[in-house]
Structure formats: C-alpha cells, structure tokens
Structure 1
Amino acid sequence: MSSHKIDIHSHYLTPAYVEALKKSGHVPGPDGLPFTPDWTPEDHLAFMKKNNVSKSILSCTGPGTHLIPGDDAFARQVTREVNEFAADLKRRFPTKFGFFASLPLPDIDGALLEIDYALDQLDADGFVLMSNFHGMYLGDARLAPVYAKLQARKATVFVHPTTPCNAQACTHSDLTPQRKRDNIPLSDTYFIGIMEYFFDSTRTFVDLLLSGTAAAHPDITFIVPHCGNSLPSVLDRALLITSPEKRNFQIQSGAMHTLTAPVVKEMFAKQFYFDLAGSPMPNLIHHMLRWIKSDRLLYGSDVPFNSWTAAETQAQIMESELPKLFGEQEIQNIYHGNAERLFASRET
C-alpha cells in the first residue's frame, strides 16, 4: 500500500442509537436500509490495522439523530448520547479516532446548544449534517442561526445523505415505509442507496450554492461525500439555467445567488473537500476533476455501512487507479496530507 490513510468518512453505531432507531420505526435498518450493520470499536480498529488506516473520523449516518418528527426532547437525548460515546472513544484512542458531532436538527435551539457543548466539552473535530432534516434542506433560511454559529467557530461540516423528503410528507409518525412511498419513486423496487443518496446529496449542495449559504459563510469548511455525487453534471445545468445573461425566461422560485463556473471553482478550492467513499473510480472522479484539484480530495471508506470486505476491495481499486491520475506526492496527500492540513487549519 502506498501510504497510511486518514479515513474521513466512517461511521459508528452505539447500542442506545440502535434501540432509538427501532423505537422510531427504522427497521430492519436505518434510513430505509435492509439491514443494520454490526459495529464495535474493536472491529473498526481491526479494519484500520488491516488496511493501513491510521485514523478514522467517525460520524453518525442517516437518518441522523432527530428520529421522530416533532419530538425535540428525544432528538436531544439521542444526539447527546452518540456524541458522548464518540468523545469517549476519542479520549481512549486519541491517535486512532476523531469524530464529527451530530446535531438535533431541525431543532434549531437544540443544535445551537450542542455546537458549543461538542466543541468546548467534547473536543469534536466538526459536525455531521444530513442532506435534509425532515425536509429541511441545507440552504433553508431557518438554519441561519446555526450557520452563524458554525461560521463564528470556523467549523468543519461533513454532509451525509439521507432519505429524500419534503416537509409535508415528513410530519407523519409512520416514518420509514410511508415516507419512502410518499417521496421516492421506485423505492419499492430498488434499494435507495443505488440512486437516492447521490441525488439527495446533490440536491442539498446545489441548494447551499444557489441560496448563497455557502458563500455567505466562508469560514465553514464543507466535506462533500462520495466524490461529489451527481454534482458535476447538475452544476453544468444549474449554471446555465440560472445565469441571468443566458436565460430567456423568468425563474419563479425567487432570487438566487449569482454563480459562474470560475466562482464555483474558487469556492471549491477554498471551502470544500470531497471524499472518495463509495465508487468514485474509475469513472466519477474524472468528472469531479473538472472542478477541483487533488488537494481537495480525501480518503473515505464508509464502513460499516459499506461492509468491511467491500471497503477493502474499494481500497484496492483506489490503489490501482490513483497512480493513473496523480503523482506519488498527490496520492500521499489524498490519503492523509490533505486531511492533516484541513484539521490543522481548523486549530489556527
């Protein structure tokens, strides 16, 4: 193997979180998945040793920690439990584990409290946001107080996909089966991870860009999962349609932040990173490299939702494909150097 790795995209499940998922209807697995993976710190450390991963930055995956619409108290309880668990792992294995703290969004007040607690008391490395919170996407104006605090704290924000949702369909109590039928065509036919995670991540990042949210908070660093998802293709279309000088019709959705390809590329170069979890090679990475350089790429495994063996196979694919695109120093940076600089910059 070429280098040790810092795994920016890996997950954990606490026993209490698994029980909370069951209580809220996420069975047989979270977020409409057909399974709940087994996870222990020991299994994770074994995977790291076998695959030359020097450090894993853990995060809670979809559906996040606000599991029952309207039940903010339960969300705050679940959020604090998973954050305390991860913080304890970091204290016990400081060279092996870091973590992105969860927030109980769309509970704004609860999120504001948790941001300070996670950074000041738990030594979190940043925060994980879902692509939407019960239909609240990340460019939503109601999130302004949260972004103001994240901006003030110069926070790193890792975004993870979750089930697509609109606000009307996300208020009922029959969470998983009914929500899928209400929101996702073909959800009864295909596993939502095949298409919908990519689509929802793309949707929320386009929202962040077109709403002006990302540009208005330049000290927040965003990590985009799965090598940009469908973002490269959608950006081409979004820039064309929203460009005032190129369109010949009135867009009715209201004012949008003015974007051009050079502006987006500059923003990506300063404020965004893109992880290589999932299946970015041999194809997707080429599209993303139209927008970024290798210094914005980070290694990710997505274990244990990507099985230990599948993650190992994908790491082997990466080993063979990266030298076709990059020199040795660039590869070293993708595996660990870029992440080291990212976290060093957050400490200054």
Structure 2
Amino acid sequence: MTVPKIDLHTHYLSPMYREALKKAGHFPGPDGLPYTPEWSPEAHLAFMEKNNVSKSILSCSSPGTHLIPSDDEFGREVTREVNEYAADLKRKYPTKFGFFASLPLPDIPGALLEIDYALDRLDADGFVFMSNYHGMYLGDPRLAPVYAKLQARRAIIFVHPTVPCIAHAAPLVDAYVLPAMEYFFDSTRTFVDLLLSGTAAAYPDITFIVPHCGNALPSVLDRVFVVSTSPLSISTTRRIHPLTAPVVKEMFAKQFMFDLAGFPMPSQIHHILRWIRSDRLVYGSDVPFTPEVAAEKALQAMEEELPKLFGEQEIQDVYHGNAAKLLAKTPARQFL
C-alpha cells in the first residue's frame, strides 16, 4: 500500500446527526441496518494512516439529511449542522479532510440557500446527493433550479444510493439489507434518469461521481440506447432524450467519475472499463459503513487486480492523481 490515496467515498456521523436519525425512526440503524456505525475523527485518521490515505473527502451517507418527508424545517436544521461539523473538521485538519456538503432536498428553496452557504461560507468541495429524495429521482425537472446554480458554480456532485422509492411496495426489497443489492439498483435507476431525461447533458459543467464502480449501469446501457430511440418512448410521461453509445462515452469522459468503493474486484471493474478509461476512476473506501476490515480486504483486492489492468502511472492516478485533478477544479465561489 505504498501509493498515497485520496478517498472520495467515505463518510462521517456527527453526534447531532445520530440523534436526528433516532428522532426520524432510523433505529437501530439507517436503511434497515442492524446498527449505526461508530465514527470519530480520530478513528478515521487512524484508518487513513494505516492504509496510506492522504486525504478523505467526507460526506453524509444515506438516508441523507431531509429525514422526515413533511418537515422541511428539520431537514434544513440537520443539513446545516452536518455541514458546519464537516467544515470545522476541514478547518482543523486542512490537509487531511475535505467534504461534500449535504442539501435538504427535496426542499428546493432550502437547497438553493444551502448551496451558497456551503460554498461561500464553509468552503465545501462539492455536494453529496442521495439517489432519490422521498421518491424524487435526480432527473426530475423540479430540480432544474438546483442544477442551474450548481452549473454556474461548476460543482461536483457525488451521488450516494439510498432506499429506493419502491422499498415498501416490493416484498423482496425488504428481504435483505439494502446495501446488498438495492443500493446498486437505485443508483442505476437515478443515473439512467439523469441520462434519459437529458439532465446530465443540459449541465455539462457539473461533474458527477458515480458510486460503486458504476453499479449496474454498464449492464443496462445498451438497452437504454435502444429504448431512447424507439417509437415506444413517445408513450412515456416524460420526454426521453435520445442516447447513443458514442454520446454517452463522450459524456463519461468529460463529466463523470466512477469510484471504486464496495467490492468491484475482480469482476465488476471489467464492465465499466468497456465505457471509460482509467482517468475516470477514483478510490473510495466507504468507511465506516463498510467496516474497516472489509474496506482493507477490498483494498487488498485492488492491489492485486489493478496491476493486471493498468501501468504504474495509471494506478497512481486511480489512487490519487485523478481525484487531485478533480478537486483542483474548485467550484466558483462568490466570496461574500
């Protein structure tokens, strides 16, 4: 583990956020998990030291910060608290921690206010979006004002999976812990929505970070292309943006990054490499929601598999260089 790493998929839990999860009924753990992971800055720094992670870009994981569908005020309160907490960590450990700010979506006015505050007051490195917000997926036209502001700021959006909107309608969804497979499906659902709705294409200065090595997206893209140009598409409730493989590959090459959190080795990595080059890959540990022991096993698998795929410089870029270049493109700030 000699190559230093920048971790773009890693999480934190403030003390207030833990209490907010309990208040909103996420007990004993969020998304059906049997516990809420323990987390502290000191423990996270120790993990980084042990695994040669030079910097972690922290984000609030699922279920996000708008925890009670009918309570925008509580959503704004939780969002501001977790963002302030992360900003304090960045100020205290500027070479070790950055953060992706949360937004209180689907509260659009609250999100617009928080974008300015997070960038101009808190020095956020970008934003974390859940794959859906109480059923509002990321290609939803109601999000246009949010994307317009983020486009003007040339922002980074890291997307994290959450509970699918069908969670209580399909019995099999509740049969297993959601991270086992439903996280993958919901991330895939929201990125297909971003592509088919034309949302991603409409905001080319936003960079999207796709979690978990693309999820199931590579497996469904060919089908998506056929559907997007089929006469059947005119019968849908939303206008479908025509897509082709060359167009999507170009978008991926300019506007999308794919993290290696989870367990993409030895199989899943090959699927995404049909669509992208190594310069679109970044490291992610997913701690503490992935326990440290499991994250270290995933990293060991990367150490074994990446040399079979890439040269030494490409591997260094996957671990560090690609993320460093992305973070160097800081969002436009107003410096109020």
Provide the TM-score with structure 1 as the length reference: 0.93
- 2:73 corresponds to 1:89: no
Q: What corresponds to 1:342 in structure 2? A: 326
Query: In structure 1, which of residues 287, 306, 309 is the aligned counterpart of residue 293 of structure 2?
Result: 309
- Distance (whole Å) between structure 1 residues aligned to residue 331 and residue 116 of structure 2: 15
**What secondary structure is seen at the aligned counterpart in 2 of 1:309?**
helix
Shift in alpha-carbon separation, 1:347–1:186, aligned structure 2, 3 A = closer
Which 5+ residue runs of structure 2 have no aligned equivalent? none
CA offset at residue 230 of structure 1?
0.2
Q: What corresponds to 2:245 in structure 1? A: 261
- 2:214 corresponds to 1:203: no
CA offset at residue 249 of structure 1?
7.5
- 2:148 corresponds to 1:148: yes
| Contact 1:32–1:163 (8 Å) recurs in 2 | no
- Distance (whole Å) between structure 2 residues aligned to residue 341 and residue 185 of structure 1: 43
Shift in alpha-carbon separation, 1:160–1:347, aligned structure 2, 3 A = closer
The code of the aligned residue for 1:308 comes to: E
- Distance (whole Å) between structure 1 residues aligned to residue 192 and residue 182 of structure 2: 15
Which 5+ residue runs of structure 1 have no aligned equivalent? 167-179
- Please report the RMSD computed on the Cα atoms of aligned residues, expressed in angstroms: 1.3
The code of the aligned residue for 2:11 comes to: H
Matches within 5 A, 1:1-348: 1-165=1-165, 180=167, 182-244=168-230, 250-346=234-330
- Distance (whole Å) between structure 1 residues aligned to residue 175 and residue 331 of structure 2: 46
**What secondary structure is seen at the aligned counterpart in 2 of 1:144?**
helix
| Contact 1:126–1:157 (8 Å) recurs in 2 | yes
CA offset at residue 241 of structure 1?
2.0
> Number of matched residues?
332
- Distance (whole Å) between structure 1 residues aligned to residue 132 and residue 83 of structure 2: 20
- Aligned-pair identity (%): 73
| Contact 1:14–1:85 (8 Å) recurs in 2 | yes
**What secondary structure is seen at the aligned counterpart in 2 of 1:273?**
strand
- Distance (whole Å) between structure 1 residues aligned to residue 184 and residue 114 of structure 2: 28
- Distance (whole Å) between structure 1 residues aligned to residue 14 and residue 239 of structure 2: 43
- Distance (whole Å) between structure 2 residues aligned to residue 285 and residue 131 of structure 1: 21
| Contact 1:158–1:222 (8 Å) recurs in 2 | yes
CA offset at residue 188 of structure 1?
3.7
**What secondary structure is seen at the aligned counterpart in 2 of 1:343?**
helix
Q: Cα deviation per residue 1:323-343 (whole Å; 9 max; x = unaligned)? A: 000000000000000001111
Provide the TM-score with structure 2 as the length reference: 0.96
